[in-house]
């Protein structure tokens, strides 16, 4: 997918996000102080929802403008600058990094910090092309222990 097409999709998503914000901002009325709310509305007519509504409306307008500009440029016809193989590799590495980091953060509360961090580091080094397993393992374990000493033992981080 080329960048302009991605930008088009993101702009459309932002329009949806802003529209949802417009519809849901009023839900906060129940939590507001009625006295303060009435007082504010009598002075200038603005309240807790005014600025979020303004931001959402402007964002819809800006994203619509951006969509119009991209469609005018025929964004889907732009040539990509990297080879197909290279792009696939980068996308795969990026996705894998994101997923592995998410799994690491999900496991952190349940598994020993040193163990899960060492495994995470080891897997990441291998993912990024480091093939010397002994070196990967040594650096991963040493790094995890160092983090534990600095952040958990000395700084009392309750991870």
By CB under 8 A, name the binding residues for another protein.
Answer: 3, 6-7, 10-11, 14, 18, 21, 24-25, 27-29, 31-33, 36-37, 40, 42-49, 51-52, 55-56, 58-59, 62-63, 65-66, 69, 72-73, 90, 93-94, 97-98, 101-102, 104-105, 108-109, 117, 120-121, 124-125, 128-130, 139, 143, 147, 151, 155, 157-159
| Nearer CB in complex with another protein: 40/141 | 40
Length of the chain: 159
Q: How far is the CB of 141 from another protein (least distance, A)?
A: 13
| Nearer CB in complex with another protein: 44/79 | 44
Closest listed residue to residue 50, CA positions, set 39, 63, 40, 36: 40
- Residue labelled with tokens 């040594």: 138
Token pair for residue 142? 């040493």
* Widest pairwise Cα distance in the chain: 71
* Cβ burial, residue 27 (10 Å; 0-12/13-18/19+): exposed
Q: How far is the CB of 91 from another protein (least distance, A)?
A: 9
Secondary structure of residue 10 in the 3-state scheme = helix
Q: How far is the CB of 134 from another protein (least distance, A)?
A: 15
* Cβ burial, residue 122 (10 Å; 0-12/13-18/19+): buried
Q: How far is the CB of 27 from another protein (least distance, A)?
A: 8
| Nearer CB in complex with another protein: 105/112 | 105
């Amino acid at each position: 997918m080329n960048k302009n097409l991605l930008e088009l999709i993101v702009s459309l998503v932002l329009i949806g996000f802003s529209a949802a914000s417009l519809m849901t901002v009023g839900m906060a009325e129940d939590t507001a102080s009625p006295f303060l709310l009435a007082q504010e509305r009598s002075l200038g007519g603005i309240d807790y929802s005014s600025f979020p509504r303004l931001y959402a409306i402007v964002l819809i307008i800006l994203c619509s403008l951006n969509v119009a500009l991209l469609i005018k440029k025929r964004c889907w016809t732009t040539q990509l600058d990297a080879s197909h193989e290279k792009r696939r590799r980068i996308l795969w590495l990026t996705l894998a990094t994101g997923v592995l980091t998410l799994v690491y953060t999900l496991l952190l509360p349940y598994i020993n910090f040193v163990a899960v961090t060492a495994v995470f580091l080891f897997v990441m080094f291998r993912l990024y092309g480091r093939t010397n397993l002994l070196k990967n393992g040594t650096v991963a374990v040493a790094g995890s222990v160092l983090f534990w000493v600095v952040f958990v033992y000395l700084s009392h981080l309750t991870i």
